[in-house]
């Protein structure tokens, strides 16, 4: 798989001994990342909206904890912080994508997509930062998208929210220089998950994406462009107009 890594001068993260809280952890990318962290000897907490899906996921990860939570709700974010104040790795993975034109969406659709993909991760990070800063080593891991680089026509709010999360990840990394907290960003291509069912070709598996991330995490590289995201970034660097033409209808 093609990858681009952005390195940092901070010491490499250890790979075990952490308590890892993963939003959207019951399936797809979140569960694949959970399996990677769990296999390395970390305590994993899976957070999500569906108790049944969380329970099913946890059965494959002995010792994993689960939290039924809607991260767009203030009360649920506060409850996660109270219950897991010893977290050392926060993975902001939960996201939704609505593939309709703006005129076809309701105001509720718009708020839900922006709240889930951008506002909730920022607020959750804000809430957990004091906790993370007390750890010897800690990390914030934001799962954005290759669509943060060049948007596609049919998912304007998803692309906008992921572009904002990409910018947030960069600036947060700068703000936390000289602290124990490292900021990682994973920019996936099209991944074979429930969210992408029936759409697109050439998808990679969540497990392949998790493998790519794990290599970056364990070697101290903070920005991970996986698979076709690397190609898209290269095309955009050479010819932004061509990249936009390619993405008008999506890869």
Structure tokens at 208: 């392949």
Sign (positive/negative) of CA torsion 26, 27, 31, 33? negative
The answer to whether 139 touches 13, Cβ cutoff 8 Å, is yes
Q: Count of CB atoms within 10 A of residue 245's CB?
A: 12
Catalytic-role residue among 158, 168, 214, 217: 158
What backbone torsions phi and psi does residue 157 show, to the nearest 5 degrees? -75, -35
The verdict on whether 158 is a catalytic residue reads yes
The tokens describing 127, both together, are 């809430």
**150, β-bridge pairs:** none
Tokens of 157: 């709010």
Where in the sequence numbering do the catalytic residues fall? 158
């Amino acid at each position: 798989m093609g990858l681009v890594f952005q390195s940092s001068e901070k010491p490499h993260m250890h790979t075990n001994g952490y308590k890892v809280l993963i939003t959207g952890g019951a399936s797809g990318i979140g569960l694949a990342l959970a399996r990677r962290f769990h296999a390395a000897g970390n305590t994993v907490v899976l957070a999500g909206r569906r108790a049944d899906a969380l329970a099913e996921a946890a059965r494959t990860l002995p010792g994993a904890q689960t939290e039924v939570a809607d991260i767009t709700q203030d009360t649920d974010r506060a409850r996660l912080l109270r219950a897991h104040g010893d977290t050392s790795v926060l993975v902001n993975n939960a996201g939704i994508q609505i593939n309709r034109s703006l005129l076809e969406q309701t105001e509720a659709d718009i708020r839900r997509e922006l709240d889930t993909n951008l506002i909730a991760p920022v607020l959750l990070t804000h809430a957990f930062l004091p906790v993370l800063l007390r750890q010897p080593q800690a990390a914030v891991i934001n799962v954005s998208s290759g669509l943060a680089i060049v948007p596609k026509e049919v998912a304007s709010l998803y692309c906008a929210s992921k572009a904002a999360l990409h910018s947030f990840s960069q600036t947060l990394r700068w703000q936390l220089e000289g602290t124990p907290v490292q900021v990682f960003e994973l920019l996936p291509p099209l991944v074979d998950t429930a969210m992408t069912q029936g759409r697109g070709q050439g998808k990679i598996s969540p497990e392949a994406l998790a493998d790519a991330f794990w290599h970056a995490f364990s070697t101290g590289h903070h920005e991970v462009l996986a698979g076709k995201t690397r190609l898209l970034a290269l095309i955009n660097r050479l010819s932004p107009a061509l990249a936009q033409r390619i993405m008008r209808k999506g890869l």
